[in-house]
Chains A and B, each alone.
Chain A
Amino acid sequence: MSYRLLVNGDPVEIDVPGMRRLLDVLREDLGLTGTKEGCGEGECGACSVLLDGDVVDSCLVPICQADGHVIRTVEGLAPASGSGLPSETAASPQLDPLQAAFLETGGAQCGICTPGMLMAGQAFLASGADPTDEAIREAIAGNLCRCTGYTKIIEAIALAAARPSFDGVG
């Protein structure tokens, strides 16, 4: 069975079993290893990606459910990085405002939850919600981090939201 999706802006057509996890399609079939697996049962959020702008755990999404949808992964965040697909020789990738805020505040430590956190943070920023401490905590409640105590992650998302450079498009 063949499935079509738009991954980080690039149309992809892929022929795999319909119940193959979106996570495996991204990581193994498309080589987009920025999305991580932490538990495989939707508890940790390390595999969070955006599906039509909504945060989903890609370990719980069979590829058949992603058919015809728009997927965005961490590789699609930085403006100049393109899709991140191996076929591309991306010019020196840069950081988008949220990634830059994580770097400045220390929101990434070991980095394994970071891609998922960034996607959850991106969806939150795109929602235009008031970036209160409580609202940010709610937005990343599905993403576990064991390094930071969440303090600097929350700070990073608030900082990105406060920056005039953020255009609010998710």
Chain B
Amino acid sequence: MTIRTPTRRVPFPGAPGRSAPDALVVAPGEVGVGRARGAPLRREGPAKLTGLAKYADDLVFPGAWYGATIRSTQAHARLDGLELDPGFDWSKVVIVTAADIPGENIVSLISDDQPVLVPQGGEIRHHAEPVALLAAADRETLRAARRRVTLRTTELPPVFDPLRSEQVFAHFDIRTGDVDAALAGADLVIEGTYRVGHQEQLYIENQAMIAVPREDGGVAVHGSLQCPYYIHKAMRRALRFDDRQAQVVQAETGGGFGGKEEYPSMIALHAALLALKCRRPVRMIYDRHEDIAATTKRHPAIVKYRSGVSRDGRLLGQDIEIVMDGGAYCTLSPVVLSRGTLHAGGPYRCENVRIQSRAVATNTPPNGAFRGFGAPQTEFAAEMQVDRIAEALGASPLELRRRWVYQLGDVTPTGQVLRESVAGEEVLARAAEASEFERLRERTAAAQNLRSAMGGRGPATASGIGLALAWHGAGFTGSGEVHLASVASVELTADGRITVLTASTEMGQGTKTIFPQLAATELGVAIEEVEMAPQDTALVPDSGPTVASRTAMVVGGLVIKACRRLREQVEARTGQPFAESYREDARLRGATRVDQRFEPYPGIEFDDATYRGDAYPAFGWAACVAEVDVDLDTGEVAVRNVVAADDVGRVIHPVLAEGQVEGGTLQAVGYATIEEIKVQDGRYLNDRLATYLIPTALDAPRITSILVEAPFSGAPHGAKGVGELPMDVGAPAVVAAIHDATGVWIHELPATPERILAALAAAGSDEPRAASA
């Protein structure tokens, strides 16, 4: 290959005009000095907008080889051996098996059950499970080599149905009051079984990791990831590295949504094993097919729900059973299940509650973290119940929620007293008002009545409006934050620069913008004066994982406290305001670094053994109103408008916060309508982007986001997090709107045209209004 790029510039036909005088001009790589709507511009925005930002696959490491993973094609089998075609020239290929792993053959997470590679004689537990690794200098050799590897296996009986699984990863049992008596005494008991399927995170940047051998015998991995220290720990254990030998560097990351929480540990280990054996850098870049086929998804769940109410509309009891399908290995299932369990009752006051849950093993690829983390599954069921009760009572779904929603001083099923930051009623009111919920609902009811009067005839399209309300625990569940003991640091360097050091990653949500913002505010300096250290485990402390909407609330709080201490130290020395004296202080005394460790929020206590107490330091609150059009002939749903009201505690940056609400809302709309993984014999059938569909700009509704602020006193800035909130409410709002349009309830997500038509057909036999003309 030859490339010639003449230096003489030829005028480009149609080149854009020179920079217009009134255009906003910002130099990439430098701090944006502009502001939009009173907030700073996204710090790494210019680099992303000019193509200069380096994502993992954009990084060049001279001499790097390409890596590939040999995966099982069976759901359950014993691995008897690996056969290499003797007719192939294997001298050009490096092969890694479990025998090459220097440390424990474990991807370190909650349980030690998942191997880095299935060892010979070991058990293959799911389709697409990693068995061996290959690397070669070029892609063609690698592709040819992959085809010459055969797995010798003995098939074992698989388990695909979670209800038949006998292996339980985790189970919880939360009880308050006397549910059986409450339901027995209820005027009305509404029962339902709700099913939700897998959902793929579908970050647009596929998983990617590049491993580079270090001179000290260790490996540095550069990759697309959320949690540098999860990978760091996994490398220490499986590769027998010390703290320095294991080095994790985040490249620019093209979306995560939970999908890059735990699986990158696996890829990093694979790339590192190959790099160690090749003694050169190895690129492990997944293509979309491999990414969908092999990496984690949102847990499918089956939620059985019984709610008892009095004739006058009091919620008397909730009896809830949850089964989540964890897939073949434990991964994060216990914590996903825990969050799902704790949120299953919905944000409603109820004295008699029983929630029993379990996460079980099946021979399918392991499920893991995805925005919402168990709560969207159970809150879908909770909201469906409220709507069905409202229908049975002839009550307004808005009014019923307004009556039931938690108020200050109410007590949750774990015995947590909601002492502050309770905004369920407010988000509900704001969303209902902005969407004109009651007025539009009258209009859709009139249209339904007309259709009914005409014997089911009428326009082919029916419109509907639906509402949902949710709560979402802010930060880690229970004592999670206490166990993590995260650290964030700020340093005034000897040359007078201010640097924030955290392991919190930027994956689009805005970490690199809000941390300098919080630091600058606390220190009284301009935001341009605050730098962010790269997310490199050789440089930054362990601030915990970038998950659970905890970055703004927990780590942001640590950044503020660290800055406060730095300011006090400098001001004590200089006797002048920090902003006016820090450069001189640095020149005279050299660097000052403050490490701030997490301290338990005052008065927040949780007992992990009994599951009693403050499950979360605070809750965020979300309401959503969706308007849909349903084509009664085809069952197709178009979600037209969504109004989302989310209480985030304190808005740090309105543009970024709205971006979270809008993006999360569309993911929830996709979950409600089109996103479905089809599984056959433990294999994902639609493991390509042509077959796993996510909403395009044409599918997306107009989204209006309303930010509500009910601050949390435990965080110095009052923020509670935003990322996951919108994910909890979108799906039940859409399904309620489908019901409003058609009169049928869809109990299983997604509400596909097939399911809607089937429900219409079933209803048509006894309810003429639902039948299409």
Contacts and interface: CB of A to CB of B under 8 A. Distances in A.
B89 interface: no
Interface string A126-152: 100000010011101111111111111
- DSSP majority for the B interface? loop
Given A94-B19, A95-B24, A111 B48 contact: yes
Interface in A41-56: 41, 43-44, 46, 53
Contacts of B575: none
B662 A163 contact: no
B700 A29 contact: no
B658 interface: yes
A43 B22 CA distance: 36
A149 B703 contact: yes
B588 interface: no
User: What are the 4 tightest A-B residue pairs by CB atom distance, in nearest-first order?
Assistant: A34-B51, A112-B254, A9-B12, A110-B508
Interface string B644-658: 000000000001101
A46 B48 CA distance: 13
B609 interface: no
B18 interface: yes
Given A109-B508, A112-B254, A147-B508, 17 more contacts: A29-B3, A33-B57, A35-B51, A41-B690, A44-B204, A83-B5, A85-B5, A93-B50, A97-B20, A103-B45, A108-B49, A109-B659, A111-B45, A145-B204, A145-B697, A152-B658, A170-B14
B164 interface: no
B10 interface: yes
B4 A146 contact: no
A92 B27 contact: yes
A156 to B, nearest CB: 10
Nearest to A113: B204
A31 B658 CA distance: 35
12 contacts: A29-B3, A36-B57, A37-B57, A75-B51, A94-B19, A110-B253, A112-B254, A140-B697, A147-B663, A152-B658, A153-B697, A169-B17
B204 A144 contact: yes
B767 interface: no
Contacts of B655: 105-106, 152
Contacts of B30: 92
A150 to B, nearest CB: 4
Contact of B700 (A35, A96, A101, A150): A150
A61 interface: no
Contacts of A32: 51
Given A44-B689, A112-B55, A103 B24 contact: yes
Nearest to B664: A149
Contacts, number: 273
A38 B36 contact: no
Interface residues of B, number: 86
A95 B689 contact: no
Nearest to A115: B51
Contacts of A73: 51
Contacts of B17: 79, 167, 169
Given A95-B26, A146-B255, A43 B690 contact: yes
B24 A137 contact: no
A11 B690 contact: no
Interface string B1-16: 1111111011111111
Contacts of B3: 12-14, 29-30
A163 B255 contact: no
Contacts of A83: 5
B42 A82 contact: no
A115 B54 CA distance: 13
Contacts of B57: 33, 36-37
B698 to A, nearest CB: 5
B247 interface: no
Interface string A66-89: 000010111111111111110100
A154 interface: yes
A79 B15 CA distance: 8
Contacts of A46: 204
A99 interface: yes
Which of A12, A13, A16, A97 gathers the greatest number of chain B CB atoms within 10 Å? A97
Nearest to B18: A79
Given A38-B288, A43-B690, A10 B5 contact: yes
A100 interface: yes
A29 B60 CA distance: 12
B25 A94 contact: yes
Interface in B20-58: 20-28, 30, 32, 34, 36, 41-42, 44-55, 57-58
Contacts of A149: 662-666, 700, 703
Interface string B196-230: 00000111111000000000000000000000000
B525 to A, nearest CB: 22
A149 B49 CA distance: 18
B204 A112 contact: yes
Contacts of A165: 20-23
Contact of A38 (B34, B52, B659, B689): B689
A23 B549 CA distance: 35
Interface in B180-209: 201-206
A74 B697 CA distance: 21
B610 interface: no
Given A10-B10, A43-B690, A147-B255, A108 B48 contact: yes
A114 interface: yes
A40 interface: yes
A66 to B, nearest CB: 15
A136 B459 CA distance: 29
Given A43-B690, A110-B203, A146-B204, A93 B1 contact: no
A148 B255 CA distance: 11
Given A38-B205, A41-B689, A110 B254 contact: yes
B91 interface: no
A137 B697 contact: yes
Contact of B16 (A11, A74, A77, A108): A77
B204 A80 contact: no
A77 B17 CA distance: 10
Interface string B708-739: 00000000000000000000000000000000
A6 B11 CA distance: 10
Nearest to B57: A37
A1 to B, nearest CB: 11
Contact of A163 (B16, B23, B60): B23
A94 B26 CA distance: 6
Nearest to B201: A146
A93 B203 CA distance: 28
A24 B52 CA distance: 17
A79 to B, nearest CB: 5
B546 interface: no
B5 A106 contact: no
Which of A41, A104, A111, A137 gathers the greatest number of chain B CB atoms within 10 Å? A111
A123 to B, nearest CB: 11
A129 to B, nearest CB: 15
A150 B697 contact: yes
A58 interface: no
A44 B289 CA distance: 13
